[in-house]
Amino acid sequence: MERRDYDYYESNVADISLAEITSCEGNAKIIRRLLGGDDTLRHLTLGGTSAAGWFKNYFHVGEGDDLGWLGYFIGKSKCFHHLYIQNLPDGEGREQQMCAFMEGIARSQSNRALSCTNLGDNVSGAIGRALGVLSQLEELSYGYNTLGPNGFSALGTLLKSGVLKLKKLSLFDNDIGYCGVASLANGLKSIGPSLKVLDLKDNFIGNEALSALVAALANCTSLEELDLSINDFSMATAGLGSLSDWLQAAVWNLNALSLRSCGIDDEGLQALANGATNHCKDLDLSENDSITVLGLRRLSTSLQSESCRLEKLDLGWMDIGDDGAEVLARGLIGNKVLIRMHLCGEGEGEGEDDDIAITPAGWSAFSPVLCDTSSVNNTYLSNHTIQ
């Protein structure tokens, strides 16, 4: 594919034949809508598999599709908002095609979001290097890509450049590990002030990587949501302690912190509890089944603190047991902010309590806390906040 500039597309657009730049009628229809200024075409999925029936607007990349022209037409759109790229395998000429495509959509003044899933390392790297021209981008998502050194190195370099002012960055299920986090940490120092949502779930992040990440979070002064679910924090007491310290030192508070299924144990929860309960509204600790009554007792103490800010706590799919239920019930005494505590396992029917091992005796511990009828004063002092 020869190198083309914007003037090339401008001078040839009047004579272009859609049959020459598309591989099928469905793709040609997409370009006709772009040419016609269809204001309902606000998002488009670009994919390498035949999946048109699953998506409202789907461009199936095949032999004969000229992505440079597609990018040009998207760039001319005044209402296009979100581009999805998925299932594009690495192949001969693919990287050059993606660069031409990204240069085209960079001229769009309306596109704000890009989501990439199931891409090869070379394609991911090509997109990462080309993203530098998308200065208007607010949301970037890379999922299920298994980003290798090529991919996350390009992404880290881009973020470090400060060209993007992202509000949301999602890198879920990429197995980036410590090396990927190190690249990302440098980038966060540049984009941190604008970032509101950071999703790093399922990325093989352990203690060392968590500590490196927390050091970079100091720059994320507008962060509202942090998702670190499905990483391995079973031996990350130090990292969780650093996370707690960061939360307590920050001048802002998180709306949501998700640590679901991270292998957190009692020591980890004790290190985390103060920062998480005092500086988060929504805390998800579900599926951390190594936590016992010992850890729950520390959490319960934090819930009783006057500094507690937590409004929603998820402890589902854990072996709470009757002893744990009693400990948590005591944590609600005097708590005036917690609205919802989720303790149940999967499902909403018979047997849902089996996963958390709480019997009727355990549930009864909550009754006097929620409504103590032993005296008028005790009734008044009961917890009337939790729903």
Whole-number Å distance between alpha carbons of 188 and 158: 11
- Average pLDDT by stretches of 10, the chain with 387 residues: 81 94 95 94 89 80 92 93 87 77 87 89 76 87 77 80 89 89 86 93 96 92 96 97 93 90 98 96 97 97 95 95 95 91 66 71 87 66 63
* Tokens representing residue 365 in the block: 């511990």
Strands of the chain (E only): list them: 43-47, 58-60, 82-86, 113-117, 139-143, 168-170, 197-199, 225-227, 254-258, 280-284, 312-314, 340-342
Whole-number Å distance between alpha carbons of 231 and 210: 10
* Tokens representing residue 2 in the block: 């020869």
Q: What's residue 132's pLDDT?
A: 80
Q: What count of other Cβ atoms lies within 10 Å of the Cβ of residue 252? A: 12
- Parallel, antiparallel, or unpaired for β 197-199 and 254-258? unpaired
Q: What's residue 204's pLDDT?
A: 93
What's the sign of the alpha-carbon dihedral 148, 192, 216, 139? negative
What's the distance, Cα to Cα, between the start and end of the chain in Å? 62
- Tell me which H or E stretch contains 249: helix 237-249
CA dihedral 269, 278, 182, 133 (to 10 degrees): 140
CB 150 within 8 A of CB 179: no
Buried b (16+ CB within 10 A) or exposed e, 339-358: eebebbbeeeeeeebebbbb
